[in-house]
Amino acid sequence: MMCDGVRPKKSLGQNFLQDGNIARKIVRLLGIGPLDRVIEIGPGPGALTRHIAAENPARLILVEKDGHWAEERRAELGASSVEAFPPEGDARAVVCADALELPWEALNKPCKIIGNLPYNVASPLMWEIFSRALGLDRAVFMVQKEVGRRLCARPGTSAYGALTVWTQSFVLPKMEFIVPPGVFFPRPKVDSAVLSFVPLPAGPGDFSPLRLAALLHKVFSQRRKQLGTIFQAVPNRLELLINAGIDPRLRPENLAPEDFHSLTEVLL
């Protein structure tokens, strides 16, 4: 089947939202004001874009990998087509690019980011954005419900993992509402979830993101093991863990994000 004469591309996670009320509800969560700079990832046929543009933010930047939809949205908005990211000066701009490849750290002025994210890149994309987009003011993303549960998970649950700790180290996620498969074309197999995110204030307990990423990779690839076993190659590991207030018999899924931050200081 087609959408606007164009076959949706599975390789780009193209499940297009067909329900205007849900689109409006998602955009409302971003709380767009007249001075805001808004970035939409993956506008596709424009279900969210229309409602964002209706709020008339000072700047609207669309990032779309599919050249067909990038050009259609550019024409509809009367926007410039630019290569640089973030674009400077244009009130309406379309960047036809892979969002995973963008220099998110260059986004250092206040901005709000929104997207019905392609399911195949949602997790790595959020991983990059939360840790690197320093100007992030607020984000609203639609993702697969399972991914949404992982983002909001509490320690001690099966959904708690590296993506949870990483996300909750930078932003406070909130599950807003669930969206059923029937409102998309083509229809996905699973429910989706809409979440909002606000950055955490960076405090004195700052940690090194590089060290945290290495630590999470190491411990969650052995999530069934006790910490004392995972770090058996580290001299004095039991003493170091106990001094950091962490029981060596715990497993990675039992530690809070702050515990991982302390561990980056003592164990890597």
- 47 lines the binding site for ligand SAM (CB under 6 A): yes
- At 134 the three-state DSSP class reads coil
Nearer to ligand SAM, 7 or 249 (CB): 7
Our measurement of the distance from residue 180's CA atom to the centroid of its chain's CA atoms, rounded to an integer in Å, reads 20
Q: Is the distance from CB of 228 to CB of 248 less than 8 angstroms?
A: yes
Phi/psi of residue 65, nearest 5 degrees: -80, -30
Site for ligand SAM (CB under 6 A): which residue of 20, 31, 56, 98?
Answer: 98
Kindly state whether residue 12 participates in binding ligand SAM, applying the rule CB under 6 A. Answer: yes
**Residue of the chain from 51, 65, 138, 237 that contacts ligand SAM (CB under 6 A):** 65
Q: Name the residue number minimizing CB distance to ligand SAM.
A: 42
Element (H, E) at 196: strand 192-199
Query: 8: which 2 tokens?
Result: 């949706």
The residues that bridge with 3 in the sheet, in sequence order, are 6
Give dist(CA 164, CA 219) in Å, integer.
13
Residue linked to tokens 């805001």: 36
Residue from the set 32, 69, 73, 139 that interacts with ligand SAM by CB under 6 A: 69
Number of residues this chain uses to bind ligand SAM (CB under 6 A): 24
Cβ–Cβ under 8 Å, residues 99 and 75:
no
Mapping DSSP to helix (H, G, I), strand (E, B) and coil, where does residue 93 land? strand
Q: Which of 63, 136, 212, 227 binds ligand SAM (CB under 6 A)?
A: 63
Q: Which stretch binds ligand SAM (CB under 6 A): 38-46, 72-80, 145-153, 213-221?
A: 38-46
Q: Check residue 66 for interaction with ligand SAM (CB under 6 A).
A: yes
Q: Please identify which residue in 57, 86, 87, 118 interacts with ligand SAM, judged by CB under 6 A.
A: 118
**CB 38 within 8 Å of CB 30:** yes
Looking at the Cβ atoms of 17 and 230, the one nearer to ligand SAM is: 17
Contact between 99 and ligand SAM per CB under 6 A = yes
Pairing of strands 59-63, 37-41: parallel
Q: Which is nearer to ligand SAM, 45 or 57 (CB)?
A: 45
Place of tokens 């909002």: 196
Segment lying near ligand SAM (by CB under 6 A), choices 79-87, 92-100, 162-170, 198-206: 92-100
Q: Contact residues for ligand SAM (CB under 6 A)? A: 12-17, 41-45, 47-48, 63-66, 69, 98-100, 116, 118, 121
